[in-house]
Chain A
Amino acid sequence: MIDDRIVDHVARLGRLELSPEERELFRAQLGSILEHFRRLDALDLTDVPATSHVLPVANVLRDDVAQPSLAREDALGNAPEAEDGYVVVPPVIEAE
């Protein structure tokens, strides 16, 4: 049920470039893993709500008061490329 088209689509969604070997490997492995997980289909889940989180907490609020935070140079200290207080990335918008 997992074919090359799905592998390519998912890799693109996940922003993950695959080598030809990885593409082949993941097609086979995802197929067999998901096949194994099909055992969940045996359960009747009608009217069973989803659990996304085990704690009964929602919207934890605090007073909106400024707190000391990282200095800009510390926050940028690990960036592969930074300039004038910004991270640098390749062009996002094509020039005319």
Chain B
Amino acid sequence: MPASLADRPAWELRALYRRKAASPREAARAVLDRLEALEHRIHAYLFWDADAVVAQAARWESRAHREDAPPLAGVPVALKDNICTRGWPTTAGSRILDGFRPPYDATVVARLRRAGAILVGKTNCDEFAMGSSTENSAFGPTRNPWDLDRVPGGSSGGSAAAVAAGEATLALGSDTGGSIREPAAFCGVVGLKPTYGRVSRYGLIAFASSLDQIGPFARDVRDAALALRVIAGRDPADSTSAEIEVPPYDEQLAGEVKGLRLGIVREFLSEGTDGGVAAAVREAVQTLRGLGAVCEEVSLPHAPYALPAYYLVAPAEASSNLARYAGVHYGHRTARADDLYTMYARTRREGFGPEVKRRIMLGTYALSAGYYDAFYLRAQRVRTLIRRDFEAAFAKFDALLGPVAPTTAFRLGERTQDPLQMYLADVFTVPVNLAGVPGISVPCGFAGGLPVGLQVIGRPFDEGTVLNIAYALERATDFHAARPPVASAAR
């Protein structure tokens, strides 16, 4: 039996449309059927609109086969719920934004619409993207399609689970400290965090503005390249978006790594990394070596300091960004306040969940008089050391390799009582955000039946090389083709 249209990558859907072997309406139906069959078990979405999906598919039904159809014509795409969608609920997983419907589209949403995408709905995430398991969503956790007792990773867990389970062909997420790469690794899909500035953040609900970046989830590297091409590029509405040409990533995938110099990050394969994860990563390194890449160990000596630096910088920025949720312009407002201060403070008490409150406290503390120098400024200086580590490594290597996370997907509830344990899931991803460089998670094997991701880290704005290395690995293995049992059973 051929694979369901719900499990086909976008580039394959396009080819099928061209040959008139399938149509957007059929693909949309397949995705909706899958979603309706699995959603009560996975909870990848906070919102979807079946009628809107059908209407968008109808728009491309008679045009998706044409040579001049836009790149994602008739492709079902899911959006993390911290990305603003005109008229669709956008909560960022928080009660404080329950009922909020943005009056505008994020730039990436406008670009997807222009590219012909069928927008399916909004995916679950940790509240304000703060978390590594999607358990911090105010609307209940998402479950990992590979094992429903385990987390999908986070914070973009809904997007990763939706793509893994065939509830969307592609999805967008955001990555501040690993929130695309970690869930991609845990769910066995491809997830790319672009260079800071590569993709417009206009319409992304801000968490930590110097670290946040939007990127794609996909079932293979070609699709990730295609999606990045659509969403990347300068946007006048985001002054940090870079005026740097966007190459046709999907057309430039050669899968050729011969002669490339790849650095294996020593600090990422320390004793803290699970044996099965380390074995799968070493195997991937061997595969790339077999394809002609020159792989050698490299040290990022300050990487072990990245986690504390990140957990000071990110909450500090968050405490400032989240000041806007005070019951004035949008979202929840407490019913029990007679004065302005109480309205702010009580609205926030009622609307924010525990992790968001914890980070507001941590960030406010780190920025407050008397502690600023000892914590915030110190963390920003460490950030400089981490950037320099990457610069030194990239003087010798074309890209860096390592695991995405120290473990595979953990059990629901396993880490919710201990914030530090939860933060440790980000130990190999946060250095990349602090340095602003691009990183991808590409499936590289299994450990104990659960997916493992290889992290490929590149020079600033060199997503092309990162994608190419991931593509070479993907072609030499078939881990990306494995589907979670729950999706195979649903067909």
Contact = CB atoms under 8 A, between A and B. Distances in A.
A15 interface: yes
B361 A62 contact: no
A87 B340 contact: no
B340 A90 contact: yes
Contacts of B102: 78
B349 A19 contact: yes
A79 B360 contact: no
A50 to B, nearest CB: 4
Interface in B422-476: 434-436, 460
- In the complex, which range does the number of interface residues on chain A fall in? 35 or more
Interface in B207-257: 210, 236, 239-240, 242
A26 B239 contact: no
Given A15-B326, A15-B345, A43-B305, A78 B100 contact: yes
Which residue, B101, B240, B381, has most C-beta atoms of chain A within 10 A? B381
B385 interface: yes
Nearest to A25: B354
A53 B208 CA distance: 11
A25 B418 CA distance: 11
A77 B103 CA distance: 8
B419 interface: yes
Interface residues of B, number: 68
Contacts of A81: 333
Nearest to A49: B384
B339 A55 contact: no
Contact of A55 (B197, B328, B330, B342): B197
Interface stretch (B111-119, B128-136, B268-276, B372-380): B372-380
28 contacts: A11-B361, A14-B364, A15-B345, A16-B349, A16-B361, A18-B349, A22-B357, A30-B358, A34-B375, A36-B420, A40-B308, A40-B309, A40-B382, A45-B381, A45-B385, A51-B380, A51-B381, A52-B380, A55-B242, A57-B240, A70-B103, A77-B103, A78-B100, A79-B330, A80-B328, A90-B337, A91-B340, A92-B340
